[in-house]
Each structure stands twice: as C-alpha cells, then as structure tokens.
Structure 1
Amino acid sequence: MNRKLAVLSLVGMSCFGGEVVSAGLAPGEPEVTTYRVTANGKPVAIYRSMADDEYRQGYQESYYYFGSFDFSGECRVEVTSSVSLKNVQILPARFGLVPKVSSDGGKLEFVASKPFRISIERSGKEEALLLFGNALETDAPKAGDPGVVYFGPGQHKAGKIELTSNQTLYLAAGAVVNGAIVAKGDNITIRGRGILGGEAYPRFKGPSGWMLELRDGKNVVVKDIIVRNPWSWILVTAGCDGVLVDGVKIAGSRMINDDAIDLCNTKNVVIKNCFLRTRDDIIAIKGLGAGQGQACENIFIQDSEFWTDNANIYRIGFECDAKEMKNIRSKNIDVLHYSQYSGPQNFWSHAIFWLQPSGGMTLSDTHFEDFRIYCDGRDMMLLCAKMMLTSCHGKSYEVSGRVRNCSLKDIAVIGTQGEFRGQIHLSGRSSDEDVQGIRLENITYFGKRITLDSPCVEILKYVEGVEFK
C-alpha cells in the first residue's frame, strides 16, 4: 500500500515538473532587461521586435518582446518585469492562464498544462511581451539529412534561400536567419523553432519581394517558425494548391505593407494555431493573376490570435484577378488589438471583416464564427461590404464585384466600451455590383445583441437578403 502511494506521489511530481526545452539567446542579440522569464525554473530567451508608431509613416525604433519554449506536463511560468505588473492583462483569456502577481508588482506567475500563445500587457499594448508555450517538437530533421536545408543555432545572413520540390528547410531553435525564402515546387516543408528575420533590410529592399514566398506548389507546409521585422508582405502563396500553415508566429509591425498572410490565387488552405501581429492586414485573400487566375477557394482558418496596428484583420478582395473567391471559413479566433477607426467613406478604410470584391468578381460562401474581439475603447468597423472600384498591378477596374451568401456568427466584442460603435456597413454599386444574402447571428457588443435596428447598422442601395438572428 505504501509503495503504491509512493509511486503515485512520484508521478504527480513528474507531471508538475514537466520537461522544458528552451534554447539560449542567439549570439549577437541584445540582452533584454525589461523582462525575465523562466519555465519550471529554466531561463527562456527573450527577443525584441520593432514596432512602428501607428500614427506615423516609415518605421520608428520602439520595441516589444517575445519568447518561446517547448514543454510537456505542467509548467510554472514566472515573469519578472522592470515595470509594475499590478495592472497586467493576459490576452486572450481562452487559454485560462490566470496570473498571480507579487505584492510589489515586480513578478507574476501562472501554471500551464497545454500549449498557449499569449500577450502579457503591463499597461496596454505598448512594450507587450508575447509568450509562446509549445508542445515538445517531434521528428526534427538533422543537418546532413537528404533533402534538408538546415540552419543551426546562431546568426545567419542568408540572403535568398531557394527551395524546390521535395525539400525541407529547418530553422533550429536559437537560429536567427536574416533573409527571404522562395519555394517553388511540390511537397516542400518549412519548419523549426528558429526565427526568420528581416531587420537587415530596409522597407521593400529585401533579397526577394516577400519574406516567405510559396509559388505554384502543391502540398506545402509552413510550421512553427517565428518571423520578425519584415520589409514587406510576409507569407505569400501564389498559384498554390494545398497549403498548411500551422503554429507560425509573426512579430511584425515594423512598417506598413507588412501583411501577415496573403493568399493569392490559392486553394485548399488550412491556417491554424498561429499568432500574427502586423501593422498591415492580417489575412489578405487576393487575386494577382497567379495560376492563370486560379480561384481562391476552400480556405479554412482556425484557433488563432490576430493583432493589427493599422489596417484590417481580414481583407478579402481588392486585387481581384481571380476566377472567384468562395468557401472561406474562419472559426475560433481572438482579435487582441485592432487599428484606429477609418470609416467606409475613406478609400483605405479599416474593418475587422472587409469584403471587397472588384473587377467583376464574385465573393461567396464566406463565413466567420466564434470570434472574441478585445476592445480598448476605440471605435472600429466590424463589417464592411462596400462594392467599389479598386485595382491590380496598377490597372484600375472598370466595375466592382458582388457578394453572395456570407455570414458572421457568435461574434463578441468585449473589454472596454469607450467610444466603440462597431459600424456594420453594406452597400452595392449597381444591380449587378451588389450584396445579397448576409446573415448575422448572435453578434454582441459588451453583452448586448445587435439587431437590424441597432444604430451601428448601415444598409444602403443594392443590398438584399440581410438577416439578423
């Protein structure tokens, strides 16, 4: 009997003191003193990323921070801060991580038993700490394995990294690789716990047009890497069929035009378990004429955290050289922060959900479900479906587009109400450039359900079949 009790006790101790894997800070990286983090007593390397002031152009060298580690079992995380944590907030709430703050406000701790991706905010989003607790890595390739391009721990000025069919690019934990990845072909995997950095390059002057370009490929995987300080669009697919983006973290917002993920003429996509922060759009679905104008379709986005400092969470359309855009679904998303308000009267307006087909293209069967939108008191459009003339490759369209059968369900705006109105704007341009079949179900602002008669709802000409439930 006593022997059984002893075994049970040891199992419990092993569970609480689960395994932690954390690489040291890469050589050449500045030591961060504003935060210190340990996981089950093991130091976690903290990196910094640039953040542009949201009201200025170019980029300014202010910073926020991030750290990443792997663990199993239960993990006690301790964060020490040079600034008081007495008013700290951990976003999002869905990971269930409740901090215990020391009496002097200098330290917090929490216990995690499953992977998480959070923002620890001492007093709003300024100088936030992004912390990523990952499941233990399995089946990692080794340097010298056939078909593997391998970057080990340390700093690497790689320039353009070109991949072809049946290759794997691996960025090991502790690696910081400054460069661009251009992958053309099938069965390509890009993975690892390392960092792909763009800080060595000025805006629009990287070794390739985009940081991570996937072109004309089938069965392409991007998994677990961290991307920081981009010089332009970040992860771009063009003419692809079959893309998985899983566990990717983006620490952007160094400058405008740093879209997180641009799906261009791409179909059969899954994006999941990602934390994406940029200054520009988070998810942009575009038609750039790739793949002979292939449709953007069968796109599934789930279980992720999004943060834009100066644009849209979703912009679907604008560049519309695609046969159509359809069957786009997003579920279980936390919007941690959004841009300042810019209404539908402005060409570059901002919204959580921007449906913007043009060039005669139809956008249909697009659905958003189970979103939590954290409000800091500022206003923002929730939904904008405004048919308007846009352009692609410098050529303006002569007609706009049309929206068919789209929905929002279980969308909750929470946090500080302040000046938030949450405009819902629907407008067509003609009988053939119109909006039909919009369903809004269980949309709540601070616990209050939005209806057709709510003052935030604006429905103009050439709009039919709007339903609130």
Structure 2
Amino acid sequence: MTDVQSIDVQSIDAPGADVRSGAAPSIGPRRPEAVDRLVVHPVPDGVPLNTSFSVKARTPGGDWRAVPVMRARTRTVDERTGAGVVRNSSVANLDFTGTVEVEVTSSKGAIGSARIRPLSYGIPYEVGGDTVHLSLTEPRNLSVEADGDLHDNLHLHANAIEEPRHEESDPDAPDDAPHVIRFGPGIHTVPDEVLKVPSDTTVHLAGGAVLKARVEFTHVENARLTGRGTVLGPDGGILVAFSRNIEIDGVLVLDPRSGYACTIGQSRQVTVRNLHSYSSGRWGDGIDVFSSEDVLIEGAFLRNSDDCVAIYGHRWDYRGDCRDIVVRDSTLWADTAHPVNIGTHGDPERPEVIENIVLSGIDVLQHREPQIPYQGCLALNAGDGNLIRGVRIQDVRVEDFARGQLINLRVMANRYNTAPGRGIEDVYVRDLTYDGTRAGTAILAGYDADRPVRNVTFQNLTVNGTVVHDAMEKPGWFLTTDMVPMFANEHVHGLRFLDAVTAAATTTPEITGVGEATATAGYAFNHLVTATALPTSFGAEGLPRGLAVDRATGLVSGTPAEPGIHTVTVSATNAVGTATGSLELTVHHP
C-alpha cells in the first residue's frame, strides 16, 4: 500500500490536447479498420526546447497542431584531445492511431536532401523547400535528418496511444488512491531528487509530465513506471535493483547528469518497453543489465554517449549469472562506444556465466569509437572470468557508421576489468546486414588455448548486398573472413559462414533450461525457450490467457490475466526436426 500523500510532490501544471478525425487520408496508406486519432502532449515551461525544427501533425483532413520540440544533448569525443563535444539536438513526441501526417520544418531554410531512418522502415516522404512531409500508419521511432546532419537532427517518437490500466484510469479513484502515484502534465520534483517506488505500486507519468528525479525500484516487487512523460536530468534516470516483476513502459529519459538511463541489477522478470533515452555524459549508457534473469527490452530508441545496451555479470553490489535476456525491435545509436556490449564486467574470483542472450529485429544507426580495443557494433567481450554462451543475433540491420567494427567477439582483458574471460561459445548470427564503407576489420579472437571462441555460425551475413559464405566465389587462397573483412585468430574454433538456405544444424534440437516457472497475474512475464542445435523457430501451446510466444526468438511474454497452474508444451524446430518439452507455469495472485 502506498500513501501518495507522504511524497512531497511539487508541480507546475500544463494542459494537454486530444484531437480526433474520421476524414479520408490525403497522403499515404491507411488501415481502414483503425480510427484516426492524434494526441499531442504539452511541454511545460522550464523544460529546454530546441528551435532547429518546428513540427506539426494532423489526422488526415484535420487541423494542423503544433508538436513541441524538446532539446536533447549528444556527446562525441574529439579524437585529438579526448575532450567531449556536446551538441544540441531535437526530440518531438506524439501519440496516434490510424493515420497521422507530420510536417518537419527546418529553421535553417531550404533542405537540399533529407533522410528518414531507420532506412529499413522505408518511410515515404516528400521535401518541399524547408519542410519534410511524411505520413505514418503505425508507431515508429525515427530520425529525420536534413542535409546529412547527424547531430542537429530531429528525433520523432510517434507512439501508439496509451491504453491505461484500470488502476491508472479509474475515474472514481481519489488522488491519493493506494498503489498509484500519478503525475499529471507539468514539472514535478521530490525530496533529494529520488522517487523510491514501493512494492505493488504503479507510477504513472502522464503525457506532458516532467519528473526531475531518479526513479528507484530497490528490493521491491510488482511495480511499474508507465506513461508518456519524461524523466529529466537526474543522476541515473531509472534504477531497478534486487527486485522482481518490474515494468517500465513508454517514458523518455532525457540527459541524465551522470550514470545510465536505466540500470537493472540482480533482478528478475523486468520488462522495459518503448523507452527512449538521450545522454551526453561521459558514462552515458542507455540500458545496462547486471546479474539478472528474464529481462525483456523491446521497442526502445536509445541514443547514448556510451554503450546503448550492455549486459554484464558482477559489478558493484550486483552478483550472479546473467541469463535469458531478450532485446528486440529496437533502434540503437551510439555516439561513442558500442550499440551492444556483452560480457566486460564480472567476478574473476567467482566466475559467472552470461547465457541465453537474444538480439532480434535491431537497427543500428551509429557507432563511433576511435579506440580499436573498444570497437564493435555488436561486441561480445568476455572479461573478468565470464563465460559467454548461447547468444542468438538475428534480423539485425547495421547502417553505415562513422568509425568502428561491425562485430567484435573477443576473450580479453582491458582497463575496465582485471582478468580475461573464460571463453565465448555457441553463437548464432543469422540475417545480419551491413551496408556501408566505413567499417574496419571485424575481430574474432580467443585469449589462449584454454580460453577460446568456439562454435560461431554466421548465416546469411550480407555485406553491401553480397552474402558471405564458405562456398562463395572468391580466389582460392582467400579466406571467407577476408570477404567480410574479418580477422579470426588461432584460438577461434568451429567458425562457419553459411548461405541463407544451407541447414545450420545436423541434429534435432533438445530443449534446455528450466521445466517450471512462476508468474504473477496482472504483471508482465518473460520466459525464454532455449534449445540446442540452432533452432530457427519456436512454439508454445497451452499458454494462459494474456501470454504469447514469439516464434522467431522463443520468448514467451505478456501479462497473464488470472491465477492458475498451466502445463505448457514448448517446442524448438530446425531443419532436422522438432523437439518438445513441458513447462509447468504457475500464475500466482498479485
């Protein structure tokens, strides 16, 4: 039970706007079953704005409405001095269903060329004078760039309209209702700039709400942070530590003064959905996961001044293995360091395992790292006694980046750890695409004979339109790795490059992992189906209402609706056959 009156909240109110229209669209496709609806959230006075772009939006045939543009800051490193170069950029947010038209106007005058990324979305647009016009029919996180400027660009977050949970939207609930802390439009502060969220509590940041505080979930369970509001400028925006059943959904973390946008330490059953973060600090990571299990990161847009997503073992007070982590359908932009970094930190005295990691449906927009030992859009760097195993990287699209490597798999020790890792094994990279000219030579390297890289399979690796595989046409004295290009040292064993149709496995899968799991009714749940022999699809039958399986990743996720005990048949399939197993799933009362 939460007594919201015990929290001293200071607010500056601001109004919101909700516009609906049923008129026919004038530009772009439209799903006839969707009702056109647009919500534009205010930005309260006192929040920094940026004037490089003005934005307006409308439903087809409706009136144009101004969309506020907030200031975000980015940071790159001057390669000559090591000094940080901080620049202003722009962020605009809107919510919609159906179709929305958006116009983005540059204050610098006529636009010679424009680009909307991720390029994989294929967003159609028109440029007229100083304005880019586009139309959307589904939620997207986009970068709108004029004349190749990657710093003074506009980040557009076109979200789905939020569907409030019952406890957030109950019109009869008093303002001090237990279990819910509500922040309406306006600027809010709390004592010591830290909001400690109790168990069984939802913190809801409405659109237009700006909270100047770190949000902490420490030693709690069954708690949430939701809404379309902003966490602005605290030290380390969101902290989840020693907790269970935590959900973060829809918020923007803007320019933490120090620390990461979101830290997950020694916790279980954590879901981070549709998080947007921007940072300009020296250690300005996006989402870092330490010694945790059953974590889902999805729909994120992370532009950070250090690693975007990092997955580690021990650091600080967090200890233990890290497993069953899924990052999917997200966009990563690292102005420094890695878009993805796995394995650097651990405990050499009590070695840990980082396993069952899935990266799926990822767009990488930038990687800019001048230091060769810290390069890699996708970096699996086993240090501090860590063993990295069971990693699946699939359907990842890397656009041309400023400086670095496409992939870096190394057992190593660097200045951020005290010992090399134990190894990297069983890595399956499928449908990885890179289009560009600036990638340096990728590196795969074991540390020594006892700490190797083993059993790495690339399938349908496509570099500038060419599929790199062991049977490709090339000079007979060339290695397949030369065609990437990639360097693999003598401590790399079982490295394969396959085309799209060659079977990656020669044996039927075997289901691995636990045979039982627990969930809580009304709270997000994640369970990753894992198997040997490189499965290409997964299944789950007998799931309770509210849960579904992602056949591409094996992730069972959702929010179970009611308590009960369920026997679920899970499956994994490859070209040879299908394996099944039984999962006993117990859904408890909240």
Give the TM-score of the pair, scaled to structure 1. 0.88
Q: By how many angstroms is 1:292 displaced?
A: 7.1
Aligned to 1:69: 94
Q: Secondary structure at the match of 1:351?
A: coil
Aligned to 1:189: 224
List runs of 5+ in structure 1 lacking aligned partners: 1-8
Among 37, 60, 82, the alignment partner of 2:55 is 37
Question: Within the alignment, does 1:247 sit opposite 2:291 as a pair?
Answer: no
Aligned to 1:126: 151
Q: Give the alignment of 1:387-466 within 5 angstroms.
A: 387-390=411-414, 396-397=418-419, 399-414=420-435, 416-417=436-437, 420-451=438-469, 452-454=480-482, 456-466=485-495
Aligned to 1:86: 112
Among 254, 257, 262, the alignment partner of 1:235 is 262
Aligned to 1:276: 302
Aligned partners of 1:228, 1:187: CA distance in 2, in Å?
Answer: 25
Is the CA contact (8 Å cut-off) linking 1:51 and 1:59 kept in structure 2? no
Aligned partners of 1:10, 1:275: CA distance in 2, in Å?
Answer: 30
Q: Secondary structure at the match of 1:164?
A: coil
Moved over 4 A (4+): 9-17, 56-61, 289-292
Aligned partners of 1:160, 1:293: CA distance in 2, in Å?
Answer: 24
Q: By how many angstroms is 1:330 displaced?
A: 0.8
Aligned to 2:384: 359
Q: By how many angstroms is 1:256 displaced?
A: 2.0
Aligned to 2:555: none
Aligned partners of 1:430, 1:58: CA distance in 2, in Å?
Answer: 35
Q: By how many angstroms is 1:191 displaced?
A: 1.0
Among 132, 139, 144, the alignment partner of 1:115 is 139
Question: Within the alignment, does 1:467 sit opposite 2:501 as a pair?
Answer: no
Cα 1:373–1:428 change in 2 (3 A) is same
Aligned partners of 1:47, 1:363: CA distance in 2, in Å?
Answer: 40
RMSD of aligned alpha carbons:
2.3
Q: Secondary structure at the match of 1:431?
A: coil
Q: Give the alignment of 1:18-417 within 5 angstroms.
A: 18-40=36-58, 41-55=64-78, 59-83=84-108, 84-102=110-128, 105-122=129-146, 123-139=148-164, 141=168, 143-158=175-190, 159-184=193-218, 185-198=220-233, 206=235, 210-230=236-256, 231-252=258-279, 254-288=280-314, 293-321=319-347, 323-343=352-372, 346=373, 349-376=374-401, 378-390=402-414, 396-397=418-419, 399-414=420-435, 416-417=436-437
Q: By how many angstroms is 1:59 displaced?
A: 4.9
Length, aligned pairs only: 438
Deviations 1:50-91 (A, max 9, x none): 122432656555200001111111111111111333311000
Matched residue type, 2:150: K
Aligned partners of 1:96, 1:70: CA distance in 2, in Å?
Answer: 20
Deviations 1:169-189 (A, max 9, x none): 111111221221111211110
Aligned partners of 1:10, 1:77: CA distance in 2, in Å?
Answer: 17
Matched residue type, 2:447: R
Is the CA contact (8 Å cut-off) linking 2:457 and 2:496 kept in structure 1? yes
Q: Secondary structure at the match of 1:94?
A: helix
Aligned to 1:4: none
Aligned partners of 1:264, 1:453: CA distance in 2, in Å?
Answer: 32
Is the CA contact (8 Å cut-off) linking 1:358 and 1:387 kept in structure 2? yes
Q: Secondary structure at the match of 2:95?
A: strand
Matched residue type, 1:188: A
Q: By how many angstroms is 1:282 displaced?
A: 0.9
Q: By how many angstroms is 1:288 displaced?
A: 2.0
Q: What is the identity percentage for the equivalent residue pairs of Structure 1 and Structure 2? A: 23
Matched residue type, 2:380: L
Aligned partners of 1:326, 1:119: CA distance in 2, in Å?
Answer: 33
Aligned partners of 2:22, 2:151: CA distance in 1, in Å?
Answer: 43
Matched residue type, 1:182: E
Matched residue type, 2:145: E
Matched residue type, 1:350: Q
Aligned partners of 1:24, 1:220: CA distance in 2, in Å?
Answer: 28
Q: Secondary structure at the match of 1:28?
A: coil
Is the CA contact (8 Å cut-off) linking 1:264 and 1:290 kept in structure 2? no
Deviations 1:355-407 (A, max 9, x none): 1122332110111111111115x442112122222577xx723x432011012
Q: By how many angstroms is 1:450 displaced?
A: 3.0
Deviations 1:173-232 (A, max 9, x none): 11221221111211110111111111xx6xxxx3xxx32110111111010000111121
Matched residue type, 1:233: Y
Q: Secondary structure at the match of 1:454?
A: helix
Is the CA contact (8 Å cut-off) linking 1:22 and 1:69 kept in structure 2? yes
Is the CA contact (8 Å cut-off) linking 1:390 and 1:400 kept in structure 2? no
Cα 1:211–1:29 change in 2 (3 A) is closer
Aligned to 1:5: none
Q: Secondary structure at the match of 2:460?
A: strand
Between stretches 138-147 and 441-450, larger displacement belongs to 138-147
Cα 1:276–1:381 change in 2 (3 A) is same
